[in-house]
Chain A
Amino acid sequence: MTVLAVDVEKQLGAFKLTVNFRAAGGITALFGPSGAGKTSLVNMIAGLLTPDRGRITLDDTVVFDAAQRIDVPPHRRRIGYVFQEGRLFPHLSVRQNLDYGRRMSGRPRDGSEFERIAALLGITHLLNRRPRMLSGGERQRVAIGRALLMRPRLLLLDEPLASLDSGHKGEILPYLVRLRDEAAIPMVYVSHTATEVRRLATTVVRLDQGRVAETGGLELLAGTELEALD
């Protein structure tokens, strides 16, 4: 079943992004070298960047359609987004960061959901800390928890491990695997690292120079023996 259908065009300076792909449940990896337009693409899915042309649908609802002049603002898309640099709110504690999405939607507190996700990500002991007091890996786990607790229809992860050293990368990967297997939330995972994609992805969309080069399963990674493409 298709969860996300993207067919967009965007001119970014001299660079042109023309992308058409579909994602079902599980983890869809947007895989490609730096500068392939991966971040711009997820920003368009989240609603932070407006495509010039095209259409984006999520669970049979149109979130963007240039021809029909539909452009649902990011706060109404219910698309979770884990940024490369975490982007935790520095003036809020970990607990308040995690709780932010629920507060904004006005949903009543659900203690068991909160506990379950905090435990899943191993951040229960960090709840009263400020983001500044966290390590890079802890920060990314909190960012993942924060996005999950807003109950997203889709979770975007933009190179969530890129800012971490290799030790901390290894610390996060198992959590992402558990997330894929335990939480029934479809994910789009942006990466330029073949090893990460190999561990996580169910579908691979390979991007190159603003275009989809190929779409398929993990066999697309067969040729990429290198750890990273760039």
Chain B
Amino acid sequence: MFDLSVAEWTALELSLRIAVVATAWALPFAVAVGWLLARKSFWGKTILDGLVHLPLVLPPVVTGYLLLIWFGRKGPIGVFLHDYFGIVFAFRWTGAALAAAVMGFPLMVRPIRLALESIDRRLEDAAATLGASSILVFFTITLPLALPGIIAGVLLCFARALGEFGATITFVSNIPGETQTISAAIYTFLQIPDGDAAAARMVVIAIVLALVALVGAEWLSRRATTRFHGG
């Protein structure tokens, strides 16, 4: 059963690549937005908070459609990115990564924001009296202390990105070798006669992948916690 076809390997590799790239790109933005929401009060904060959480509440098809309108070949942002940076999202794996990042973003921001809110600000004051500028305080005190929250956010976003289906298929379609992830492949196999066996194999892959991710997550967060509480 486990001599995977080329198409299946491709779907697996694509899913992982898309989830990793989406998570990596989302991370700095999620830290910035989490920090803004946790630490600053400014006009439009409620709007920003709402916008960030929108993909969590909207039907994924709607998110995918909005991405298509804005980042598609004729979309204003899509045209701009293509003309000035040569970046194309439409019907490419990069578009799938964008969709996955947008869908995972709210799940990443939330734990990071909570972690930043729970940090004892007096430690940052202490660091300042020891000669650390605001930037150094952020990178040597704030960020390391928020690490458990950051790890939690990364894992949630990664998991969401790995399973993303609705927004992705709406935005970049279901092209084998380009945008066909495991979820999309399962969906495709279920549409064709005799596709059950292939779909079952992909389902097993999905389960194995999820288990590996969970075990890895547990290990990572344990390491982060022992850094604070252990010897």
Residues B130 and A46 in contact, CB atoms below 8 Å apart:
no
- Minimum CB–CB distance for B69 against chain A, Å: 44
Residue pair A150, B131 in contact (C-beta under 8 Å): yes
> Judging by beta carbons under 8 Å apart, are A101 and B131 in contact?
yes
Is B41 interfacial (CB-CB < 8 Å)?
Answer: no
B65 to chain A, nearest CB (A): 44
Q: A87-B122, A91-B227, A132-B229 are in contact. Are A48 and B144 (CB under 8 A)?
A: no
Distance from A29 Cβ to chain B, minimum over Cβ atoms (Å): 20
Contacts of B231 in A (CB 8 A): 129-130, 133
Q: Which residues of chain A come closer than 8 Å to B129, judged between CB atoms? A: 46-48, 74-75, 77, 79-81, 147
Q: Which parts of B107-140 form the interface with A (CB within 8 Å)?
A: 120, 122-123, 125-133, 136, 140
Q: Are B228 and A91 within 8 A (Cβ)?
A: yes
Q: 1/0 per residue A35-73: CB within 8 Å of B?
A: 000000000001110000000000000000000000001
Q: Mark A114-154, 1 if CB is under 8 A from B, else 0.
A: 00000000000000011011000000000000110010000
Contact A75 B123 (CB under 8 A): no
Tell me, yes or no, whether B52 is within 8 Å of chain A by CB: no
Asked whether A87 lies within 8 Å of B128 as measured between CB atoms, the reply is no
- The answer to whether A100 and B130 touch across the interface, beta carbons within 8 angstroms, is yes
Chain A residues whose CB sits within 8 angstroms of the CB of B145 once the complex forms = 90-91
The answer to whether B123 and A87 have CB atoms under 8 Å apart is: yes
* Assembled-state Cα–Cα distance A76/B136 (Å): 13
Query: B123 to A101, Cβ gap below 8 A?
Result: no
The answer on a CB contact under 8 Å between A81 and B227 is no
Tell me which residues across on chain B come within 8 A of A79, comparing CB atoms.
Answer: 129
Instruction: Confirm or deny: B230 has a beta carbon within 8 angstroms of a beta carbon on chain A.
Output: yes
Q: In the complex, are the beta carbons of A75 and B126 less than 8 A apart?
A: no
- A75 to B133, Cβ gap below 8 A? yes
Q: Chain B nearest CB: distance from A146 CB in Å?
A: 7
Q: Does A14 contact B (CB under 8 A)?
A: no
Which residues of chain A come closer than 8 Å to B140, judged between CB atoms? 100, 104
Pair A105/B123 contact, Cβ less than 8 Å: no
Q: A83-B122, A87-B123 are in contact. Are A147 and B130 (CB under 8 A)?
A: yes
User: Which B residues touch A175, using CB under 8 A?
Assistant: none
How far, in angstroms, from A87 to B230 measured CA to CA in the complex? 18
Residues of A within 8 A of B120 (CB): 87
Q: Smallest distance from the beta carbon of B122 to chain A beta carbons, Å?
A: 6
A84 shortest CB reach to chain B, Å:
10
Q: Is A78 an interface residue (CB 8 A)?
A: yes
Query: Most chain-B Cβ atoms within 10 A of its Cβ — which of A46, A100, A132, A133?
Result: A100
Cβ of A113 to closest chain B Cβ, rounded Å: 15
In the complex, whether B141 has a CB less than 8 A from a CB of chain A is: yes
Chain A residues, Cβ within 8 Å of B228: 90-91, 130, 132
Cβ 8 A contact of B132, one of A75, A80, A87: A75
Q: Which residues of B contact A47 (CB under 8 A)?
A: 128-129
Query: What residue of chain B has the Cβ atom nearest to residue A96's Cβ?
Result: B140
B contact residues around A80 at 8 Å (CB): 129-130
Interface string of A136-179 (1 = CB under 8 A from B): 00000000001100100000000000000000000000000000
Contact B122 A104 (CB under 8 A): no
Which residues of the partner chain B approach A132 to less than 8 Å between Cβ atoms? 228-229
Interface contact B144-A130, CB-CB below 8 Å? no
Complexed CA–CA distance, A56 and B136 (Å): 26
Alpha-carbon gap, A132 to B228, bound state (A): 8
* 28 A-B residue pairs with CB within 8 Å: A46-B129, A47-B129, A73-B133, A74-B125, A74-B128, A75-B128, A75-B130, A75-B131, A75-B133, A76-B131, A77-B129, A79-B129, A80-B129, A81-B126, A83-B126, A87-B120, A87-B125, A89-B141, A91-B145, A91-B147, A91-B228, A100-B127, A100-B130, A100-B140, A101-B130, A130-B228, A130-B230, A147-B129
8 tightest A-B CB contacts, nearest first: A87-B126, A101-B130, A81-B129, A74-B128, A104-B131, A104-B132, A91-B144, A75-B128
Residues of B participating in the A interface, judged by any CB pair closer than 8 Å: 120, 122-123, 125-133, 136, 140-141, 144-145, 147, 227-231
Q: A48-B129, A75-B128, A75-B136 are in contact. List 5 more A-B contacts (CB 8 A).
A: A74-B129, A87-B122, A90-B145, A100-B132, A133-B231
